[in-house]
Amino acid sequence: MDKNDVKARVKKVIAQVLNLDEAEIGDNANFVFDLGADSRQSLELVAAFEEEFDIEMDEDKALEVQNVADAVEFIAQYLD
């Protein structure tokens, strides 16, 4: 799966979990500061990414990911 596909799916998941329009989600948007995610929603994002991509991520490391571009890179590691 190429990075553009991963990015599109990441943005779709973020839009669903945070009730946003995908067009509002910039590639470098910070989950907390730009998109308004709280700690509960951050956990929901991790779970939703795992479900979307059928992967199991290291939760502590996943919660350290702060923006969309980093999430794409982080998830892509699990898809290689």
Say if residues 13 and 48 touch (Cβ distance below 8 Å): yes
The catalytic position among 27, 38, 60, 70 is 38
3-state DSSP assignment of residue 54: coil
60 is catalytic: no
Say if residues 49 and 10 touch (Cβ distance below 8 Å): yes
What positions carry a catalytic annotation?
A: 38
